Structure 1
Amino acid sequence: MKAAVLREAGKPLTIEEVRVSKPGPREVLIRTAAVGVCRSDLHFIDGAFPHPLPTVPGHEAAGIVEAVGSDVAQIRPGDHVITFFTVFCGSCEMCVTGRPSLCIDPSTRRAKGEEPRLSLADGTPLAPFLNLSAFAETMLVHENACVAISKEMPLDRAALLGCAVITGAGAIFNDSRVRPGESVAVIGAGGIGLSAINAAKIAGAGMILAVDPVPEKRQLALKMGATHVVDPGEDGILKTVLKMTDGGVHYAIEAVGRPNTAELAWNILRRGGTATILGMIAPGNNVSIPGPTFLTGKKLQGSLLGSTRFPIDMPRLVQMYLDGKLDLDTMVAERIRLEDINDAMEKLRKGDTVRSVIEFA
């Protein structure tokens, strides 16, 4: 099969022939239909976050099941599925306490010494990328790294649910539990931020404030449900937001991954508010918060994939789209071929696009 291979951080991906193993126990072979090009991929490709190499990146995908290994209980050949990179075992402390996105049990991966799931044409093993390696014509994953969905769902839109949407929407529905009439500020109007904005609208938030320096993204934010937009480059951004929100927002969602935007999320909270950090802040960076502000009852929390309960939340999000409530169409900036992957990464570096989606024939 063809796949986009990362051999060296900071270098372009190369389209190569890659070998895929047969499904082992509890493994599922998926023909990839579509995969989103996410900024998280870029962090690893550019070397901001270290990763074993060579590897096939990609982690936001949907496809059709071609085969399953022994002991697979919930997935069948022919199923349409969405993948997710935080595969869960189902039996560890995190899983049984309802936090499957935090599972790191090694039983979901092939053991050392076993045949690798993916390898180069010369037999060199490929390191699994976030349990998926989705920039490829097929994916071989643990059964708990995917969930079956309605076949009415367009797979190019379904792919977005695998990272951007469950992260942004989960930050609203699961982490923040926004109630009707409450105020929400979303910092960063990329795929995750726009999903949080749309989810805040669905949740009935009163004021939904989008903070982004790119005018086109602020317009998209308004289309997705924002009631107000702000350019963070303006002088006095903090005072402006506090005045607009009568003392700060109930919830702030940070979807950029920088210390200054995480600090902004904290500072624009009202007393008792909660800031959720979704962005990937690179190793070596720290967030600074004035000590006395903890006495205001504010809360700062991290989140991975919006604390999503995958088998439950993903089909619900699919139904929200089919019912016309969840807007995924606006998020797709372009549909491309696998061979265009490096151009899509360059657009992400410039920060002027929302989501490129790779479609496979």
Structure 2
Amino acid sequence: MNTLAARAAVLTEFESPFFVGQIELREPGPGQLVVRTTEAPFCSTDWMGWRGMRRKTPPVVLGHTAVGVVEHLGPGVEGLTPGTRVLVAGTPQCGSCFYCGIGRPDQCSVLLDGSDPVVASLDSGGGRLDVRAAGRVGAYADRMLVERIQVHPLPDELPDSLACLLGCGVSTALGAVFTIADVQPRQSVAVLGLGHLGLWAVQGARLAGAGRIVAIDGHPGRRAIAESLGATDLVDAHRGDPVAAVQALTEGRGADVVIEAAGPALASRQAVLMARRAGTVVLTGVAHSATEVELPQLQLTVHGKKVVGCQNGQITPSVDLPRWTGMLASGELDASPFVTRRYSLDEIDTVVRRSLALDDITGVLVP
């Protein structure tokens, strides 16, 4: 099989420094292409993968979305040419599986019914090892071998520094606000957890016309950013009971919509409790692939609360990504607080530490 050299940050052991060096990409097969990576964001999903919390199998290249330029096309790839700037999204849309057929491409079988694909090999000194691509992307490399069904052309007016944010926090948060919760003008929205996803959700709630936006986090810097993006009320999650605080701000009822973007099982429980009767709760966080959540039955039955999961905002990529792209390009979405720093591939161990320490909203790798 023909190969193509790439330089990548490879996770060879959980919670260990990355190997940064050459791998050999496989030749693109039918429906595949090679994209030269220009920018790729780092988020909590990636350090969870680094810690062994997301069912990844080393050796693996992490990174589940990126922006780049098409270099090589495999057989049958249409609508793209070498040199095209593209977004590589972590959620594919095959259009032919059961879930795409019922209008739920966020559950596309290509992504969720299989394991991460082998896309490359690595010389370990004792032989060659197969290397997988996390989320079918493997963004932390200067080249990616990906499927056409997860690649989207980008307009010239949207720079890489903004476009790289689309396939993760932007799509998940805006999908949670507009698609899943369908936030209406004057509704109250509580956002629990103010990482990059929660901060995008604050913006989404403002754009939807929410009357009260309660931003909840224990990090004072994150609360300040949320206020600058449209939050009307700030709650310190480390002082007092955040559920009681939200109820006090909503005439004792609880919020019309609660978007949980924190991760721990406790946050999922609190999100359900701080929603009003017949309210909507959108759960986006995953602490660990094996985490279980205990919820009070009365809240789900008699109180009629709607609790919905959120895989990448339940987006339909072909429809929603152009919409979010336009909002970023026009400035309707303010991306200025999100990219904290840019890093070279050799600095990936620093990126992990800074993300874990909450020093970055979004660190961006520039391979």
**Counterpart mapping for 1:142-221 below 5 A:** 142-221=147-226
RMSD, matched Cα:
1.9
TM-score (norm 1): 0.94
Aligned residue pairs total: 357
Distance 2:144 2:113 in 1: 15
2:339 paired with 1:332: yes
3-state SS in 2 of match to 1:65: strand
Alignment identity in percent?
32
- Name the CA distance, whole Å, in 1 between partners of 2:114 and 2:119: 9
**Higher strand fraction: Structure 1 or Structure 2?**
2
In the alignment, residue 216 of structure 1 is paired with which amino acid? G
- 1:109 and 1:142 in contact (8 A); partners too: no
Equivalent residues of 2:254, 2:274 under 8 A apart: yes
Other-structure match for 2:283: 277
- Residues 216, 242 of structure 2: 8 Å contact kept: no
Write the letter of the residue equivalent to 1:256.
Answer: A
The C-alpha deviation readout for 1:304-351, integer Å capped at 9, x for no partner, is 000011122112111111211011221111111111111111011112
Matches within 5 A, 1:168-317: 168-246=173-251, 247-294=253-300, 295-317=302-324
Letter in 1 for 2:336: D
CA distances 1:20-65 after superposition (whole Å, capped 9, x unpaired): 1222111121110100011101111011223111111111211111
Aligned counterpart, 1:319: 326
After superposition, the C-alpha distances for 1:50-85 in whole angstroms (9 at most, x for unaligned) are 311111111121111112112112332222111112
Q: 1:290 to 1:110 in 2, by over 3 A?
A: closer
1:38 corresponds in structure 2 to 43
| Alpha-carbon distance in 1 for matches of 2:116, 2:334 | 40
Q: Is the 8 A contact 1:266 1:275 kept in 2?
A: yes
Matched residues in 2 for 1:139 and 1:130: separation?
A: 12
CA shift for structure 1 position 108: 10
Q: Which letter maps to 1:170?
A: G
Provide the TM-score with structure 2 as the length reference: 0.93
Q: Which runs of 5+ in 2 are unaligned?
A: 1-5
Give distance in 1, aligned partners of 2:104 and 2:255.
Answer: 27
Mapped contact 2:283–2:309 kept (Cα < 8 A): yes
Match of 2:120 in 1: 118
- Cα separation, 1, equivalents of 2:64 and 2:116: 21
| 1:241 to partner: Cα distance | 1.2
In the alignment, structure 1 segments of 5+ residues that lack a partner are none
Distance 2:27 2:132 in 1: 17
Any conservation in 2 of the 1:184–1:249 contact (CA below 8 Å)? yes
Query: Conserved in 1, the CA contact under 8 Å of 2:61 and 2:140?
Result: yes
CA distance 1:330–1:289, shift in 2 (3 Å) = same
Please give the secondary structure, in 2, of the residue aligned with 1:210: strand
Write the deviation string for residues 271-298 of structure 1: whole angstroms up to 9, x where unpaired. 1111111011314432122222221111
Q: Secondary structure at the match of 1:126?
A: strand
Alpha-carbon contact 1:250-1:274 (below 8 Å) kept: yes
Give the conservation status (yes or no) of the 8 Å contact 1:27–1:143: yes
| Distance (whole Å) between structure 2 residues aligned to residue 249 and residue 107 of structure 1 | 32
Residue matched to 1:346: 353
Q: 2:33 aligned to 19, 28, 53, which one?
A: 28
Displacement of 1:88 in angstroms is: 2.8
